Structure 1
Amino acid sequence: MGKQKEVQHMEANKKSLLITGASSGLGRELAVEAAAAGYQLLLVARSEDKLKQIAEELNERFQTNVTLYKADLNNPDEWQSALQQIVRENQRIDVLINNAGVGYFRLFTDTDPTQIETTMRVNSLAAMEASAAILPVMLKQGTGHVIMIGSMAGKVATPKAAVYGASKHSIIGFSNGLRQELKPYGVHVTTVNLGPMDTNFFDTADPSGRYREASARYMLQPDKVARKVISSIGKNKREINLPSWMGIGSKVYQLMPGLAEILLGKQFNKK
């Protein structure tokens, strides 16, 4: 370990990091990278068994302190109860990563109302509720970092992802406003906007596998994304856009949405 990394590890070892949706996919990789960096972990997920498995692995590999909280973010009462417990049991929380997410890639007219509610609740409302609970702790500390796992779908809406895009667009807008509010108080807000990533997200979003197959050549790897996210902690970084070419494309879309939809219509319809 180099001298700079060793110093960073020692500093992180004094800090705690909360991750939602931590039992699989990107959340799991974020936990691994954070543990490797020396953070004390507060992990939230629906599956207690999976949480226990990752806690055992992290303790064995990194001898890090891991505290587990079982909660279904789609259940408002259960999530509020968990948040109250987290705040009650942890006097210091330095980083909040709102990572939990769900999606259903289908035409809006074929989308069940319960799927609409679940998508908006887990992707958007639960993240806002977590921020509302944890921010008073960070403000009292005078330091902190809120990281929102957004999506390129929140910047560029596509067919069969109207609801998912709306949930992520909501998070991007929330983050942009929150960032300005917290700037005077030493708390950073970063939005991580991702293209397709090779995780079990698609087991629910696209059971047919067609979109995964069509996106295979530019699928992001969750371990590499996690490394970039964890390395951004403490930095006043507005956004992380991956892959970078999609980030550039989203800016073009914002300038010329009609033309972009004509030129990229075939690509947009791959779901």
Structure 2
Amino acid sequence: MVKDKIVVLTGASSGIGALTAGHLARAGALPVLCGRNEERLRQAAAAGGGSAVRVLDVTDDRSVEEAFRSVLEEFGRIDVLINNAGFGLFKRFDETPLEEFRSMMETNYMGIVRCTQAALPAMKKQGRGHIINVASIAGKLATPKSSGYSASKHAVLGLTNALRQELAGSGIAVSAVNPGPINTPFFDQADPDGDYARNIGWIMMKPDRVARRIAGLVERPRDELDLPWLLAAGTRLYQLFPGIASRIAGPMLNKK
């Protein structure tokens, strides 16, 4: 059941986060939209995507602690946490400044660590909850010019898989969502020249499709959700036969 669930979403001021919140709100949930831009959060909430907003920077310990404390004070519980905040920069490894590696890891990985640590004690006290981490197919199938981004998402998957085992039997579900390319403003920063987006346009997913599937996990939890099916099949092939898959698919993956 989705109705009346308190769902905290990070990275919810636009894109997948805002769209997911909208689907959940229409299903009767009570989304709490979190992000750095208060004006955009309020616009998203006013458009039907949220019951409340919290200004939150996932890279800042105090900001995360204060936001989650405020949510618990107002609502008394957190039923679902959707860790969606993240960004990517697509550059060759030897052309990527150390600070950019650090920044992606701080947002994409440590942001999830901070938010999960802030929500988990309340979920344990409740004896129920659901943590949904938005990772990426890139965390399973790395491609050229994505070393920093893929590494951060690989870390998210490692964290998710370990946490799921630790929380087995606790009443708290842990899910990973691994989408492939999505037609969102993500690529404005990750791919400013637009070359990658043009090269993989045929497989790029519509944002609402992904948001709808993430919202569906709240009602029907599962361990992992890989999107789209073609890339999901490719990751399985790569995991089983990495050498063969690299030789066959390597040129196809070099699109950035």
TM-score, length of structure 2 as denominator length: 0.95
Local SS of the residue matching 1:42: strand
Structure 2 distance, partners of 1:75, 1:210, is 33
| Matched letter for residue 31 of structure 2 | L
| Unpaired segments ≥5 residues, structure 2 | none
Q: CA deviation at 1:234?
A: 4.0
Matches for 1:183-202 after TM superposition, within 5 Å: 183-202=168-187
TM-score, length of structure 1 as denominator length: 0.90
- The answer on 1:175 being equivalent to 2:160 is yes
Matched with 1:12 is 2
Matched with 1:163 is 148
Q: CA deviation at 1:142?
A: 1.5
Structure 1 distance, partners of 2:37, 2:65, is 17
| Unpaired segments ≥5 residues, structure 1 | 1-10, 60-64
Matched with 1:270 is 255
Matches for 1:116-265 after TM superposition, within 5 Å: 116-265=101-250
Q: CA deviation at 1:217?
A: 0.8
Matched with 1:80 is 65
Matched with 1:62 is none
Matched with 1:35 is 25
**Are 2:101 and 2:148, in contact at CA under 8 Å, matched by a contact in 1?**
yes
Q: CA offsets, 1:3-56, max 9 Å, x none? A: xxxxxxxx5332110000001111111111111111111110111110111111
Structure 1 distance, partners of 2:120, 2:24, is 20
**Are 1:188 and 1:234, in contact at CA under 8 Å, matched by a contact in 2?**
no
Local SS of the residue matching 2:119: helix
Q: Which moved more, 1:191-200 or 1:227-236?
A: 227-236
Cα 1:41/1:155, change in 2 over 3 Å: same
**Are 2:58 and 2:115, in contact at CA under 8 Å, matched by a contact in 1?**
no
Local SS of the residue matching 2:108: helix
**Percent identity between the aligned chains?**
40
Structure 2 distance, partners of 1:74, 1:116, is 14
Q: CA deviation at 1:90?
A: 3.2
Structure 1 distance, partners of 2:152, 2:175, is 17
**Are 1:188 and 1:235, in contact at CA under 8 Å, matched by a contact in 2?**
no
Local SS of the residue matching 1:43: strand
Q: CA offsets, 1:151-192, max 9 Å, x none? A: 010001111101100111011111111111112111111100
Structure 2 distance, partners of 1:260, 1:216, is 22
Structure 2 distance, partners of 1:72, 1:66, is 19
**Are 1:17 and 1:41, in contact at CA under 8 Å, matched by a contact in 2?**
yes
